[in-house]
Structure 1
């Protein structure tokens, strides 16, 4: 198998199970890969480049350990050592946040016991609204998660407290800088409700646990006629739903009624 920096660790293990021990022996950061549950959580989301960064080593270490197992690579020029990470000062936005504006989530125990914390993290991320931030406490730098959230508009800052203890912060920089939190003013919501009178479907997802609200909403939209709109009652503004609506050609108006009640009106854009 030919490998490169963007090759997923799970693909390597699938090609040759002996690679598990080869990578686990690189340094202590990878010893958790010997645990089949943790291996399932981590390997499917991490590339060689990601793993090298997490483990504080170079990609060359992976190529050297995997070469005897029959893995090949295109160029030894890829072995060039990466420069040491530069310590960065905490961003001003984080430094000015009050303690009550920091959402803290510790997933170290989840990782240690083999529980995948991804949905728990996504639930916490949805609470980030532009005036607060998420502080994720983990045993390693969550490189794949940083990449996913960066594409969705989240800024991150990583702080290594000590070996096996990393604090990663996520916040919405553009919104924090003054962009509006809601995609449409309240008056637009009221106007749209009147326009769709008699052509509304209603869906209340406040009782559902993550990620069921998004699944239920997208499921309803699959059968929604173009001339109708979906009126959703939610606990909060579903940040991860918004880009999915845009991808599917839907527009959105919303109205925040209270701390745990948000009304969404979803309709097909003309």
Structure 2
């Protein structure tokens, strides 16, 4: 099999199962491949070049182990962006951000126990808007994830703190979220709408829930909300990524900001 820098590790393992032990023996970073659960999580998302960077070794070391198993190399250039130094200074956006505006998700334990953290990560990513950032704590640089999110308009910064501890920051440099000007109402107008739905209101407080449970709870309630009724939600903040999901479901929303960490939402099914 011919391999290149963009060849997935899963393709190499499928072509010759003996490559599992060959790669795992390069250094301790790749010993996870001996675990079937971790192998399923990592191999399908990591390319040949990604693996070399994650393991802190050269591509030449990979070729040296794999060539005796019948693999041949196809010379390609690594994307220059992948050579970015992890010792770079934090971007101004992160340096000026208040600590409470940085959401944190630690997936080290998930990786260690063989649980795939991808869905939890994507749920956390949905909480990112143009006023905050997500700090992903991992045991390696999540290059495939970064590539996926770059295509969706996210920017990243990676800090390698130790061989087993990597901090990856993700944020929206240029947010493309629909403006909320048409959903924020004056207090009196919002209260008038609430009064109009008197007797036809459901109440839901999601302030105590950890992400992504607030969105899940709200969408769950809307599944059984009849036309002509409304859902009154008390939230910690304006749920930016909920808005397009409401639009998909034919729902309208009005927003009343109560304080720094309390927002009232009135969600209703439009006729």
TM-score over 0.5 (shorter chain):
yes
Compared CA separation, residues 17 and 238, structure 1 to 2 (3 A): farther
Q: How does 1:1-270 map to 2 (within 5 A)?
A: 18-25=18-25, 28-43=28-43, 45-46=45-46, 51=51, 54-55=54-55, 61=62, 65=66, 68=69, 79-82=75-78, 83=80, 85-87=83-85, 89-99=89-99, 101-114=101-114, 116-117=116-117, 121=121, 125=125, 128=128, 130-147=130-147, 149-150=149-150, 153-174=153-174, 184-187=183-186, 189-190=190-191, 192-194=193-195, 196-258=197-259, 260-268=261-269
SS of match in other structure, 2:183:
coil
Compared CA separation, residues 95 and 260, structure 1 to 2 (3 A): closer
Q: Select the structure of larger CA radius of gyration.
A: 2
The separation in 1 between residues aligned to 2:267 and 2:67, in whole angstroms, is: 51
- Give the CA RMSD over aligned residues: 4.6
Answer yes or no: is the 8 Å Cα contact 2:255–2:263 preserved in 1.
Answer: yes
TM-score in terms of structure 2 length:
0.66
Q: Which runs of 5+ in 1 are unaligned?
A: none
The C-alpha deviation readout for 1:20-39, integer Å capped at 9, x for no partner, is 33543455432222233433
Alpha-carbon shift at residue 164 of structure 1 (Å) = 3.7
SS of match in other structure, 1:137:
strand
The separation in 2 between residues aligned to 1:10 and 1:231, in whole angstroms, is: 47
Answer yes or no: is the 8 Å Cα contact 2:26–2:61 preserved in 1.
Answer: no
Answer yes or no: is the 8 Å Cα contact 1:19–1:66 preserved in 2.
Answer: no
The separation in 1 between residues aligned to 2:218 and 2:174, in whole angstroms, is: 26
The separation in 2 between residues aligned to 1:217 and 1:66, in whole angstroms, is: 54
The separation in 2 between residues aligned to 1:191 and 1:152, in whole angstroms, is: 38
The separation in 2 between residues aligned to 1:152 and 1:254, in whole angstroms, is: 27
SS of match in other structure, 2:159:
strand
Compared CA separation, residues 214 and 101, structure 1 to 2 (3 A): closer
Answer yes or no: is the 8 Å Cα contact 1:200–1:229 preserved in 2.
Answer: yes
User: Which range is displaced more, 3-12 or 33-42?
Assistant: 3-12
The C-alpha deviation readout for 1:228-263, integer Å capped at 9, x for no partner, is 433333344434433433444444333333455433
Answer yes or no: is the 8 Å Cα contact 2:127–2:241 preserved in 1.
Answer: no
